[in-house]
Amino acid sequence: MQKKIKIIEDRKAFILAIGLLIIIWIFFSNYWHYPSPPIDSLTAKEVIRILEEEDSESGLMKIATENDFDWYICKGISCIDEEIFFPLSDRGWHKQGSIDKQDYYVQTFTKDQFAGNLGTTLKIEVYYSWLGKEDVFFLKIPQDVEF
């Protein structure tokens, strides 16, 4: 009688372990464990797919346009300087300062006025590292800006 009970308990534990493994596999395969990105039109799974498909050497990648803003992903903090901030400086934009928010900071640039044109202000939102270990930053830039 005790052997039958032990076999039944072992089967229950085995089935429970298999069920738990399936749930864990579904959790990790659907990317539910990643935080949602700051952009509404893409899910974490889509952003990770974009990162995996793109060349690992490419720094700046445009991922979407939403509400008159272009969204970019940049791998590494140096990418932001090399691909965005330095080219803006070369085009006459002057860095004014930044405002830290909870999940991101706003970098402000101004362009001097010339020949009847008032000075222009540009605000770029840089969202902090998204995946933790990897340096993945989201940038929200107005659509008409060339850099």
* pLDDT per position as a tens digit, 34-48: 777 888 888 888 888
Which residues are registered as beta bridge partners of 105? 100, 126
Whether the model pTM is above 0.85: no
Q: What is d(CA 41, CA 43) in angstroms, rounded to the nearest whole number? A: 7
Give mean pLDDT, residues 136-147.
Answer: 87
Q: What is d(CA 116, CA 81) in angstroms, rounded to the nearest whole number? A: 31
* pLDDT per position as a tens digit, 66-91: 999 999 998 888 888 899 999 998 98
Q: Outline where 54-127 has alpha helix (H).
A: 77-80, 86-90
* pLDDT per position as a tens digit, 96-133: 888 888 888 999 998 876 655 566 889 999 988 776 65
CA quadruple 75, 79, 109, 100: dihedral sign:
positive
Predicted pLDDT at 112: 75
Predicted pLDDT at 123: 92
